[in-house]
Chain A
Amino acid sequence: MPDSIAPSPQAVIPAKNHIPGNMAIWVGILSEMTEFALMFIVYFLAKVHNPEFFSEGPLRLNTTAGVLNTLVLLSSSYFVIKAIKSIRIGRIARCQRWLWYAVAMGALYLIIKFYEYHWNSERGLATDTDIFFTVYYYTTFNHLLHVGWGSGAILWAIMGIRMGGITQHNHSGLEAVAVYWHMIDLAWIVIFPLLYVLR
């Protein structure tokens, strides 16, 4: 498994029109994207009916925590695609290293999010503060859960590589985990401006 083993000269290149991962993971991803879309619709409706709370709410949040978590998730997605590109050229140890970096980013995201919730709590901001904070907590906690089990899925992929179940020529399981993780990043790309930026 060490990286010193020369990579296979036959790099694995995905076929045109292929399905990254497998069809089952895409059923899950499209379902999750629909679930997040419903949350965004709830946000839009709550905002037009309660503009004053949604104008003031973002100013009371810890913007730095939101920005840091965006940078952390974007980096985690970058590490995951680097892992995919590594396994395709047979760089197994390098692939695992990128995946560990992604897991570390997932853990860092959770630490920042719990710090942010604590910061809110110290300022008396809770789920029942007003409609903005109800939407904020429902959406961000739901997303946090996805980051938690998504990180677990990356750990599962690392174990799969170590046990030989995921290889250069058989890594659709890793691709499935990767596209699921990117979906979690995509959801945050919408959540961040809605809750922290737009007023």
Chain B
Amino acid sequence: MFNTKSVDFIWLVLMGLTLLSAAIAESPDQGLVLILVITFTVAYKGRMIVDHFMELKDANRLLRNSMRVYFYVIPGMIVLVYLFPELIARLTTLH
């Protein structure tokens, strides 16, 4: 049996998620569900690399939190840009 905390298992999961993203890339219509799947994939991959490959899970808390926050903020921005593109465009237009 695989140890699900082992880097070998995590590597295989990350490779599988990449292939899932590739399948979504070929999808003709990307609705909210697919956007959320992509967003989750980015957040999960980032978290796994930060915690287990960078080994920050038990390391310095400031570094761990700084890196973890990154993979909440960027996926969050992906969802916001999908949901409110016109509002963001209006707020960022220079007059």
Contact = CB atoms under 8 A, between A and B. Distances in A.
Interface of A: 14, 16-20, 26, 30, 33, 37, 40-41, 44-45, 47-49, 51, 58, 63, 66-67, 70-71, 74-75, 77-78, 80-82, 84-85, 178-179, 182-183, 185-186, 189-190, 192-194, 196-199
23 contacts: A14-B59, A17-B58, A19-B59, A30-B66, A33-B70, A44-B88, A48-B81, A48-B88, A48-B89, A67-B18, A71-B18, A75-B15, A77-B49, A77-B53, A78-B8, A81-B7, A81-B53, A82-B7, A182-B53, A185-B53, A186-B50, A189-B42, A197-B25
A10 B53 CA distance: 22
Interface of B: 7-8, 11, 14-15, 18-19, 21-22, 24-26, 30, 35, 38, 41-42, 45-46, 49-50, 52-56, 58-61, 63, 66-67, 70, 74, 77-78, 81-82, 85-86, 88-89, 92-93
B92 A81 contact: no
B53 A70 contact: no
Summarize B's interface: helix, strand, loop or mixed. Answer: helix
Contact of A189 (B22, B30, B49): B49
Q: For the complex, would chain A's binding face be called helix, strand, loop or mixed by DSSP majority? A: helix
Given A44-B88, A75-B15, 16 more contacts: A19-B63, A20-B54, A20-B55, A40-B77, A48-B86, A48-B89, A49-B89, A78-B7, A78-B8, A189-B42, A193-B21, A193-B38, A194-B78, A196-B25, A197-B21, A197-B38
Contacts of B56: 20
